[in-house]
Amino acid sequence: MSKRALVIVDLQHDYLSSGKFPLVGIEQVVANAASTLADARFKHIPVFHIRHEFTQSDAPFFAPGSTGAQIISAVAPRAGESNILKHHPNAFLHTDLQAELEAQGITDITVIGAMSHMCIDATVRAAADLGYKVTVLHDACATRDLEFKGQTTPASQVQTAMMAALAFAYATVMGTSEYLQA
């Protein structure tokens, strides 16, 4: 029998439109994440909050101890929910996430958060490689425009490419409404 958990990755103040590293559509993503979190709490699904901090105090965002590095209140942890600090894109790397999932017998995880092209990608691929059945809610994940060699790729295209890649071999990718109705 499978046991599911919700993993919320890096929904932190610096990603808001008022933050140091804003993501496109972050407000709607936070609303979808908050709905997903409320559903998990109602169904007594274990919740794992992942929070990123860079190790250097002069980091461009998510500086240690800064307000920007704190989890957005709409999706903040409650007593009894796991709150894991990470320093790498992959939420499993040098953290207790895998041990905590194993201790609770978790086999399936739903991943939401930010950034789709970085920490969501790294965490989902690692989870799949570790044998977890992974679901990603595409509209509860955010990204931003990316630039490479003078060319800018809009966030909507980044999101489409990332979700298509994850759906190809690593996860079931669906919308929040579809997930909540299932």
And the tokens for 105? 């017998």
Q: What local confidence, expressed as pLDDT, does residue 84 receive? A: 98
State the pTM of this model.
Answer: 0.97
And the tokens for 34? 């908050």
Q: For residues 104 and 37, give the distance between their C-alpha atoms in angstroms, rounded to a whole number.
A: 18
Contacts of range 37-45, beta carbons closer than 8 Å, 24 or more positions apart: 37/6, 37/8, 37/75, 39/180, 40/6, 40/110, 41/78, 45/4, 45/5, 45/6
Q: Say which DSSP state 19 is in.
A: S
- Give the mean pLDDT of the chain: 97
Q: What local confidence, expressed as pLDDT, does residue 2 receive? A: 66
Q: Say which DSSP state 84 is in.
A: E
pLDDT higher than 60, residue 135 = yes
Q: Which amino acid is at 88?
A: H
pLDDT higher than 80, residue 119 = yes
Q: For residues 142 and 159, give the distance between their C-alpha atoms in angstroms, rounded to a whole number.
A: 8
pLDDT tens for 76-95 read: 999 999 999 999 999 999 99
Compute how many other C-beta atoms are within 10 angstroms of the C-beta atom of residue 11.
Answer: 28
Mean pLDDT of 17-28: 98
pLDDT tens for 144-163 read: 999 999 999 999 999 999 99
Assign residue 74 the CATH number of its domain: 3.40.50.850
And the tokens for 14? 């610096």
**How many independent structural domains does the chain possess?**
1
Domain assignment of residue 48, given as a range:
4-181
% pLDDT > 90, the chain: 98
And the tokens for 125? 């691929």
Q: What local confidence, expressed as pLDDT, does residue 1 receive? A: 56
